[in-house]
Amino acid sequence: MFRIISMILALTLLSFPIYAESWYRLVLYDEISIEVPKNSDHKVIDLKNEAYLSTVDGCSFMIGIVKGAFDNRGNYLSWSEEERVNNTLSLFEGILQGKLTRGNQQLISKKAFQTGKYIGMDIVYRTKASSDPDSRKRFVTFIAIENTLYMFECWYMDGKDHTKEKEKFFGSMRTKYRH
Find, among 48, 30, 34, 46, the residue nearest to 147 by Cα.
48
Q: Is residue 35 part of a domain?
A: yes
Cβ-contact 61, 169 below 8 angstroms: yes
Q: Is residue 168 part of a domain?
A: yes
Cα-Cα end-to-end distance for the chain: 42
- The residues facing 175 across adjacent strands are 32
d(Cα 65, Cα 32) in Å, to the nearest integer? 11
pTM: 0.82
Count of C-beta atoms within a 10 Å radius of residue 169: 25
Q: Is residue 18 part of a domain?
A: no
Helix (H) or strand (E) holding 90: helix 81-101
Rg value, the chain, Cα: 19
Total domain count, the chain: 1
Q: Is residue 36 part of a domain?
A: yes
Return per-residue pLDDT of the chain as tens, 179 residues: 333 233 233 323 333 333 445 999 999 988 899 999 998 899 999 989 999 999 988 899 999 999 999 887 777 788 888 998 999 999 999 999 999 988 788 899 999 998 777 899 999 998 876 566 555 889 999 999 988 999 999 999 888 889 999 999 999 999 875 53
Q: What is the pLDDT of residue 131?
A: 63
Find, among 146, 145, 136, 142, the residue nearest to 170 by Cα.
142
Q: Is residue 6 part of a domain?
A: no
Q: Is residue 16 part of a domain?
A: no
Q: Is residue 101 part of a domain?
A: yes
Q: Is residue 107 part of a domain?
A: yes
Query: What's 86's domain CATH number?
Result: 3.40.1000
Which structural domain range is residue 160 located in? Answer: 26-175
